[in-house]
Structure 1
Amino acid sequence: MVMETSKATSPYSVVSEFEGTLLKRDDPFSYFMLLSFDASGVIRFALLLFLWPVTALLNVFSYKNAALKLMIFVATAGLRESEIELVARMDALSMDTWIFFSSCKKRIVVRMPRLMVERFAKQYLIAEEVIGTELIVNRFGFVTGLLTRSLI
Protein backbone atom coordinates (compact mmCIF):
# COMPACT_ATOMS: atom_id res chain seq x y z
CA MET A 1 0.00 0.00 0.00
CA VAL A 2 1.40 3.41 -0.94
CA MET A 3 0.43 6.49 1.03
CA GLU A 4 1.27 9.97 -0.18
CA THR A 5 0.51 13.46 0.97
CA SER A 6 -0.53 15.97 -1.65
CA LYS A 7 -2.04 19.44 -1.28
CA ALA A 8 -3.38 19.36 -4.83
CA THR A 9 -5.78 16.45 -4.34
CA SER A 10 -6.37 15.64 -0.66
CA PRO A 11 -4.54 15.25 2.65
CA TYR A 12 -4.13 11.50 2.10
CA SER A 13 -4.25 9.28 -0.92
CA VAL A 14 -3.96 5.52 -0.98
CA VAL A 15 -3.15 3.16 -3.84
CA SER A 16 -3.76 -0.44 -2.92
CA GLU A 17 -3.49 -3.83 -4.55
CA PHE A 18 -6.70 -5.73 -4.13
CA GLU A 19 -5.18 -9.09 -3.31
CA GLY A 20 -2.79 -9.23 -0.38
CA THR A 21 -3.93 -5.89 1.01
CA LEU A 22 -7.69 -5.43 0.82
CA LEU A 23 -8.37 -9.18 0.90
CA LYS A 24 -7.79 -10.98 4.21
CA ARG A 25 -5.36 -13.40 2.63
CA ASP A 26 -2.44 -12.88 0.27
CA ASP A 27 -3.68 -15.73 -1.89
CA PRO A 28 -6.85 -14.75 -3.80
CA PHE A 29 -7.75 -18.41 -4.44
CA SER A 30 -10.77 -18.36 -2.11
CA TYR A 31 -12.11 -15.25 -3.88
CA PHE A 32 -11.89 -17.00 -7.25
CA MET A 33 -13.55 -20.11 -5.80
CA LEU A 34 -16.47 -17.99 -4.61
CA LEU A 35 -16.70 -16.17 -7.93
CA SER A 36 -16.61 -19.39 -9.97
CA PHE A 37 -19.25 -21.09 -7.82
CA ASP A 38 -21.61 -18.11 -7.80
CA ALA A 39 -21.23 -17.45 -11.52
CA SER A 40 -21.46 -20.95 -12.94
CA GLY A 41 -21.89 -23.58 -10.25
CA VAL A 42 -20.21 -26.79 -9.25
CA ILE A 43 -18.36 -27.72 -12.46
CA ARG A 44 -16.21 -24.58 -12.67
CA PHE A 45 -15.78 -24.67 -8.88
CA ALA A 46 -14.55 -28.29 -9.08
CA LEU A 47 -12.19 -27.47 -11.95
CA LEU A 48 -10.65 -24.62 -10.01
CA LEU A 49 -10.37 -26.83 -6.93
CA PHE A 50 -8.71 -29.52 -9.05
CA LEU A 51 -6.16 -26.93 -10.26
CA TRP A 52 -5.39 -25.67 -6.76
CA PRO A 53 -2.18 -27.78 -6.45
CA VAL A 54 -0.94 -26.27 -9.72
CA THR A 55 -1.57 -22.71 -8.54
CA ALA A 56 0.02 -23.50 -5.17
CA LEU A 57 3.15 -24.85 -6.88
CA LEU A 58 3.32 -21.80 -9.14
CA ASN A 59 3.18 -19.59 -6.03
CA VAL A 60 5.87 -21.63 -4.28
CA PHE A 61 8.21 -21.32 -7.26
CA SER A 62 7.66 -17.54 -7.45
CA TYR A 63 5.34 -17.60 -10.46
CA LYS A 64 2.56 -15.72 -8.65
CA ASN A 65 1.56 -13.83 -11.79
CA ALA A 66 1.10 -17.09 -13.71
CA ALA A 67 -0.96 -18.54 -10.85
CA LEU A 68 -3.17 -15.44 -10.80
CA LYS A 69 -3.65 -15.54 -14.58
CA LEU A 70 -4.59 -19.24 -14.38
CA MET A 71 -7.18 -18.53 -11.67
CA ILE A 72 -8.57 -15.60 -13.67
CA PHE A 73 -8.86 -17.75 -16.78
CA VAL A 74 -10.60 -20.68 -15.09
CA ALA A 75 -12.96 -18.46 -13.06
CA THR A 76 -14.04 -16.19 -15.94
CA ALA A 77 -13.70 -17.96 -19.31
CA GLY A 78 -17.08 -18.29 -20.99
CA LEU A 79 -19.01 -16.05 -18.60
CA ARG A 80 -20.86 -12.90 -19.62
CA GLU A 81 -19.55 -9.57 -18.33
CA SER A 82 -22.79 -8.94 -16.49
CA GLU A 83 -22.54 -12.28 -14.64
CA ILE A 84 -19.09 -11.42 -13.35
CA GLU A 85 -20.15 -7.96 -12.22
CA LEU A 86 -23.18 -9.33 -10.39
CA VAL A 87 -21.36 -12.00 -8.39
CA ALA A 88 -18.10 -10.13 -7.73
CA ARG A 89 -18.31 -9.34 -4.05
CA MET A 90 -15.87 -9.22 -1.21
CA ASP A 91 -16.79 -11.48 1.67
CA ALA A 92 -13.07 -11.89 2.30
CA LEU A 93 -12.32 -8.20 2.84
CA SER A 94 -9.87 -7.33 5.62
CA MET A 95 -11.68 -5.01 8.03
CA ASP A 96 -8.47 -3.45 9.41
CA THR A 97 -7.30 -2.54 5.94
CA TRP A 98 -10.78 -1.35 5.01
CA ILE A 99 -10.81 1.04 7.99
CA PHE A 100 -7.49 2.54 6.89
CA PHE A 101 -8.48 2.56 3.22
CA SER A 102 -11.81 4.27 3.89
CA SER A 103 -10.18 6.95 6.05
CA CYS A 104 -8.22 8.30 3.06
CA LYS A 105 -9.78 10.91 0.82
CA LYS A 106 -8.53 9.55 -2.51
CA ARG A 107 -8.68 5.77 -3.00
CA ILE A 108 -7.36 3.78 -5.97
CA VAL A 109 -7.44 -0.01 -6.34
CA VAL A 110 -4.96 -1.69 -8.73
CA ARG A 111 -3.96 -5.01 -10.27
CA MET A 112 -6.98 -7.36 -10.26
CA PRO A 113 -9.17 -7.51 -13.39
CA ARG A 114 -11.18 -4.29 -13.40
CA LEU A 115 -14.40 -6.06 -14.32
CA MET A 116 -14.15 -8.28 -11.25
CA VAL A 117 -13.58 -5.57 -8.65
CA GLU A 118 -14.73 -2.21 -10.03
CA ARG A 119 -18.38 -2.39 -8.99
CA PHE A 120 -17.53 -3.47 -5.44
CA ALA A 121 -14.60 -1.05 -5.06
CA LYS A 122 -16.59 1.96 -6.21
CA GLN A 123 -19.81 1.09 -4.39
CA TYR A 124 -18.52 -0.12 -1.02
CA LEU A 125 -14.93 1.10 -0.75
CA ILE A 126 -15.84 4.37 -2.47
CA ALA A 127 -12.71 4.06 -4.59
CA GLU A 128 -12.28 6.84 -7.11
CA GLU A 129 -10.61 4.63 -9.65
CA VAL A 130 -9.87 0.99 -10.37
CA ILE A 131 -6.76 0.47 -12.46
CA GLY A 132 -6.66 -3.19 -13.35
CA THR A 133 -6.11 -5.60 -16.12
CA GLU A 134 -8.79 -5.84 -18.78
CA LEU A 135 -10.47 -9.12 -19.64
CA ILE A 136 -11.00 -9.84 -23.34
CA VAL A 137 -14.69 -10.02 -24.23
CA ASN A 138 -15.71 -11.56 -27.56
CA ARG A 139 -18.30 -10.02 -29.87
CA PHE A 140 -21.06 -12.11 -28.27
CA GLY A 141 -20.38 -10.63 -24.82
CA PHE A 142 -18.60 -13.63 -23.33
CA VAL A 143 -15.35 -13.25 -21.41
CA THR A 144 -12.50 -15.32 -22.84
CA GLY A 145 -10.53 -15.42 -19.59
CA LEU A 146 -7.53 -13.82 -21.30
CA LEU A 147 -6.16 -10.38 -20.48
CA THR A 148 -5.69 -7.49 -22.91
CA ARG A 149 -3.62 -5.16 -20.77
CA SER A 150 -1.77 -6.86 -18.00
CA LEU A 151 -0.67 -5.24 -14.76
CA ILE A 152 0.07 -8.71 -13.42
Structure 2
Amino acid sequence: MAKETGRKLIAQNKRARHDYHILDTYECGLVLTGTEVKSLRQGRASLADGFAQVDDAEVWLHNVHIPEYAQGTWTNHSARRKRKLLLHRSEIDKLIGKTQESGVTLVPLALYFKEGRAKVEVALARGKREWDKRQTLREKQDRREAERAISAARRRERG
Protein backbone atom coordinates (compact mmCIF):
# COMPACT_ATOMS: atom_id res chain seq x y z
CA MET A 1 0.00 0.00 0.00
CA ALA A 2 1.31 3.44 -0.93
CA LYS A 3 2.20 5.82 1.88
CA GLU A 4 -0.29 8.63 2.42
CA THR A 5 0.93 12.17 1.92
CA GLY A 6 -0.57 15.51 2.83
CA ARG A 7 -3.29 16.37 5.32
CA LYS A 8 -6.73 14.72 5.35
CA LEU A 9 -9.20 16.57 7.58
CA ILE A 10 -11.54 14.36 9.64
CA ALA A 11 -13.29 16.80 11.99
CA GLN A 12 -13.15 20.51 12.71
CA ASN A 13 -14.36 22.51 15.71
CA LYS A 14 -15.73 25.71 14.17
CA ARG A 15 -17.54 26.59 17.38
CA ALA A 16 -14.21 26.93 19.22
CA ARG A 17 -13.12 29.80 16.95
CA HIS A 18 -16.45 31.50 17.66
CA ASP A 19 -16.37 31.00 21.44
CA TYR A 20 -12.66 31.57 22.16
CA HIS A 21 -9.76 33.91 21.39
CA ILE A 22 -7.07 31.59 20.03
CA LEU A 23 -3.74 32.46 21.70
CA ASP A 24 -1.47 29.66 20.43
CA THR A 25 -1.83 26.33 18.59
CA TYR A 26 -0.02 23.00 18.95
CA GLU A 27 -0.02 19.92 16.73
CA CYS A 28 -0.24 16.76 18.82
CA GLY A 29 -0.12 13.08 18.11
CA LEU A 30 -2.79 10.81 19.60
CA VAL A 31 -2.54 7.46 21.35
CA LEU A 32 -5.36 5.44 19.73
CA THR A 33 -6.51 1.84 19.55
CA GLY A 34 -6.92 0.04 16.22
CA THR A 35 -10.71 0.38 16.08
CA GLU A 36 -10.46 4.12 16.76
CA VAL A 37 -8.11 4.56 13.79
CA LYS A 38 -10.44 2.55 11.54
CA SER A 39 -13.41 4.64 12.65
CA LEU A 40 -11.42 7.85 11.95
CA ARG A 41 -10.45 6.57 8.49
CA GLN A 42 -14.18 6.38 7.75
CA GLY A 43 -14.30 10.12 8.55
CA ARG A 44 -16.38 9.87 11.69
CA ALA A 45 -15.58 12.01 14.74
CA SER A 46 -16.88 15.01 16.68
CA LEU A 47 -14.87 17.63 18.57
CA ALA A 48 -17.93 19.58 19.74
CA ASP A 49 -17.61 19.08 23.50
CA GLY A 50 -13.90 18.27 23.56
CA PHE A 51 -11.24 19.82 25.76
CA ALA A 52 -7.70 18.95 26.80
CA GLN A 53 -6.27 18.89 30.30
CA VAL A 54 -2.80 18.54 31.82
CA ASP A 55 -2.59 15.82 34.51
CA ASP A 56 0.72 14.70 36.08
CA ALA A 57 2.82 16.24 33.28
CA GLU A 58 0.75 14.47 30.61
CA VAL A 59 -1.85 16.03 28.32
CA TRP A 60 -5.20 14.23 27.94
CA LEU A 61 -8.02 14.83 25.45
CA HIS A 62 -11.51 14.51 26.99
CA ASN A 63 -15.04 14.24 25.51
CA VAL A 64 -13.99 13.82 21.87
CA HIS A 65 -16.50 11.47 20.27
CA ILE A 66 -15.05 8.78 18.01
CA PRO A 67 -17.92 6.35 17.34
CA GLU A 68 -17.41 2.61 17.71
CA TYR A 69 -16.15 0.82 14.62
CA ALA A 70 -19.06 -1.02 12.97
CA GLN A 71 -17.06 -4.19 12.18
CA GLY A 72 -15.33 -4.14 15.58
CA THR A 73 -15.74 -7.04 17.98
CA TRP A 74 -15.12 -7.25 21.71
CA THR A 75 -11.96 -5.18 21.06
CA ASN A 76 -14.04 -2.09 20.27
CA HIS A 77 -13.31 1.14 22.14
CA SER A 78 -15.68 3.33 24.17
CA ALA A 79 -16.73 6.38 22.17
CA ARG A 80 -15.86 9.15 24.66
CA ARG A 81 -12.86 7.76 26.52
CA LYS A 82 -9.98 10.08 27.41
CA ARG A 83 -7.03 9.88 25.02
CA LYS A 84 -3.40 10.76 25.64
CA LEU A 85 -1.84 13.51 23.51
CA LEU A 86 1.78 13.25 22.41
CA LEU A 87 3.81 16.45 22.82
CA HIS A 88 7.42 17.32 23.50
CA ARG A 89 8.33 17.87 27.16
CA SER A 90 9.13 21.56 26.53
CA GLU A 91 5.67 22.10 25.01
CA ILE A 92 3.99 20.36 27.95
CA ASP A 93 5.93 22.56 30.38
CA LYS A 94 4.75 25.69 28.52
CA LEU A 95 1.15 24.44 28.62
CA ILE A 96 1.36 23.74 32.35
CA GLY A 97 2.43 27.33 32.99
CA LYS A 98 -0.13 28.91 30.67
CA THR A 99 -3.15 26.82 31.67
CA GLN A 100 -2.69 27.81 35.32
CA GLU A 101 -3.62 31.38 34.33
CA SER A 102 -7.28 32.12 34.92
CA GLY A 103 -9.60 31.85 31.95
CA VAL A 104 -7.17 29.94 29.72
CA THR A 105 -8.07 26.46 28.46
CA LEU A 106 -6.97 23.88 25.88
CA VAL A 107 -9.48 23.33 23.07
CA PRO A 108 -9.19 20.92 20.09
CA LEU A 109 -9.59 22.75 16.76
CA ALA A 110 -9.10 20.00 14.18
CA LEU A 111 -8.59 16.25 13.92
CA TYR A 112 -6.78 15.02 10.82
CA PHE A 113 -4.38 12.52 9.28
CA LYS A 114 -0.93 13.85 8.37
CA GLU A 115 1.45 11.51 6.56
CA GLY A 116 -0.83 8.62 7.61
CA ARG A 117 -0.76 9.45 11.34
CA ALA A 118 -3.69 10.80 13.37
CA LYS A 119 -3.04 14.32 14.68
CA VAL A 120 -5.08 16.84 16.61
CA GLU A 121 -4.57 20.60 16.58
CA VAL A 122 -5.01 21.92 20.11
CA ALA A 123 -5.30 25.63 20.89
CA LEU A 124 -4.50 27.57 23.99
CA ALA A 125 -7.63 29.73 24.20
CA ARG A 126 -9.32 32.35 26.34
CA GLY A 127 -13.13 32.51 26.39
CA LYS A 128 -14.88 35.34 24.58
CA ARG A 129 -17.55 37.40 26.22
CA GLU A 130 -20.89 37.96 24.53
CA TRP A 131 -19.96 41.39 23.15
CA ASP A 132 -16.70 39.94 21.76
CA LYS A 133 -18.71 37.41 19.77
CA ARG A 134 -21.00 40.14 18.41
CA GLN A 135 -17.98 42.29 17.50
CA THR A 136 -16.37 39.39 15.63
CA LEU A 137 -19.57 38.72 13.68
CA ARG A 138 -19.90 42.42 12.84
CA GLU A 139 -16.32 42.57 11.55
CA LYS A 140 -16.91 39.44 9.45
CA GLN A 141 -20.08 40.93 7.92
CA ASP A 142 -18.34 44.25 7.20
CA ARG A 143 -15.45 42.47 5.50
CA ARG A 144 -17.89 40.41 3.40
CA GLU A 145 -19.86 43.53 2.35
CA ALA A 146 -16.65 45.35 1.39
CA GLU A 147 -15.55 42.42 -0.77
CA ARG A 148 -18.95 42.34 -2.47
CA ALA A 149 -18.80 46.08 -3.17
CA ILE A 150 -15.29 45.80 -4.63
CA SER A 151 -16.24 42.86 -6.87
CA ALA A 152 -19.42 44.68 -8.04
CA ALA A 153 -17.34 47.77 -8.91
CA ARG A 154 -14.88 45.63 -10.89
CA ARG A 155 -17.75 44.00 -12.80
CA ARG A 156 -19.12 47.44 -13.72
CA GLU A 157 -15.70 48.55 -14.98
CA ARG A 158 -15.41 45.52 -17.27
CA GLY A 159 -18.96 45.51 -18.57
Q: TM-score, normalising length from structure 2?
A: 0.27
Larger % of helix: which?
1
Look at both structures and tell me which one has the larger radius of gyration over its CA atoms.
2
Larger % of strand: which?
2
Q: TM-score, normalising length from structure 1?
A: 0.28
* Greater relative contact order (CA < 8 Å, ≥ 6 in sequence): 2
